[in-house]
Amino acid sequence: LDPSQAFNEYEFPLDSNWEIPRTQLNLGSTLGEGAFGRVVMAEACNLPRTANNSASIVAVKMVKDEHTDADMASLVREMEVMKMIGKHINIINLLGCCTQNGPLWVIVEFAPHGNLKDFLKKNRPLFVGSPSLPRSSEGLEDMPQLTEKNLVSFAFQIARGMEYLASRRCIHRDLAARNVLVSDDYVMKIADFGLARDIQDTEYYRKNTNGRLPIKWMAPESLQDKFYDSQSDVWSFGVLLWEIMTFGDQPYPSIMSAEELYSYLITGQRMEKPARCSLNIYMLMRQCWHFDANVRPTFGEIVENLDKILQLAS
């Protein structure tokens, strides 16, 4: 028995399509840590899947020191889902992995501007007509104001990413501004496939998930029956659209529980049009919030609709 192996809790099959030598990575600071695990920034050299073959910044996903077998299984599944889904500009793409002789490292694209919710809050125009506080005026000069066209373009890009995921039979199940990351040049990238499940895997998308449920983004059929499909992702996209148009406000601020939310929705109530939101964008939100999932637009139709709205926006 190799003594160095004694410290490896798990053994993974080698996938030479994706394996990267650990020596090509130089780990840096922790970007975030949560129930899911840990994300660490790293410098990488000569990665096969990056544009320039020089050093680049990447994000490395790993489990925490105090992880369970289920945490590890979920990271492995996330990696396998990313391998199967393939590349798209509007998702966080897999770059490679380190699975041998040490801890599992899943290497993904790094998004320099963090999550979309915080990004929107940082870029709030002064005196936006919402109950939330405007951003501070500090550093305003290097933060150009976001235009309505910018906001519609964010929504368009996310819809493109979701259209792609849906075409790959992937249900996100936790689509929200906190799970979209912002890259350079305002490129939106859908992140966190931890909850992504294959549509054919019925026991997965009907499964009762333990822990915190993102109830305010959930479609009625997910709240009631734990049923998820691409059309329940469309409902969440409507809430995300609302988050974009309010520069990151909290949806349904007075609703406290899943039961309360469900009775609000089943009686036909919906969030009002945000102050700085055009009618055509609000109509799209409302279509995404049709109680009947079959009446909601598909991501393909949302992409078409947003494309038209973008053409009109100055």
Number of residues that bind ligand ACK (CB under 6 A): 15
Query: What is the sign of the dihedral through the CA atoms of 245, 247, 250 and 253?
Result: negative
**Smallest distance, Å, CB 60 to ligand ACK?**
9
- Of 120 and 281, the one with the shorter C-beta distance to ligand ACK is 120
Active site (annotated) includes residue 174: yes
Least distance CB 30 / ligand ACK (angstroms): 8
- Residue 43 lies near ligand ACK (rule: CB under 6 A): no
Residue 56 CB burial class (10 angstroms; 0-12, 13-18, ≥19): middle
Determine, following the binding rule CB under 6 A, whether residue 179 of this chain makes contact with ligand ACK.
no
What's the token pair of residue 200? Answer: 């054919």
Planar angle of CA 193, 161, 61, nearest 5 degrees? 30
Instruction: Report the C-alpha gap between 300 and 160 in whole angstroms.
Output: 8
The yes or no reply on residue 94 touching ligand ACK (CB under 6 A) is: no
Per rule CB under 6 A, is residue 245 in the interface with ligand ACK?
A: no
Query: Is 178 or 290 the residue whose CB approaches ligand ACK more closely?
Result: 178
Task: Give least dist CB 25 to ligand ACK, A.
Answer: 14
Burial 81-119 (b: 16+ CB within 10 A, else e): bbeebeebebbbbbbbbbbeeebbbbbbbbbeeebbbeb
CB of 176 to ligand ACK, least distance (A): 12
Written as six digits, the tokens of 70 are 């289920």
Of 151, 191, 284, 306, the residue at the interface with ligand ACK (CB under 6 A) is 191
Alpha-carbon span 30 to 94, nearest angstrom: 18
Q: Which of 177, 8, 227 is nearest to 99 (CA)?
A: 8
Residue closer to ligand ACK by CB (options 121, 197) is 121
Residues 206-235 contacting ligand ACK, CB under 6 A: none
92 scored as a contact of ligand ACK (CB under 6 A)? yes
**What residues are labeled active site?**
174
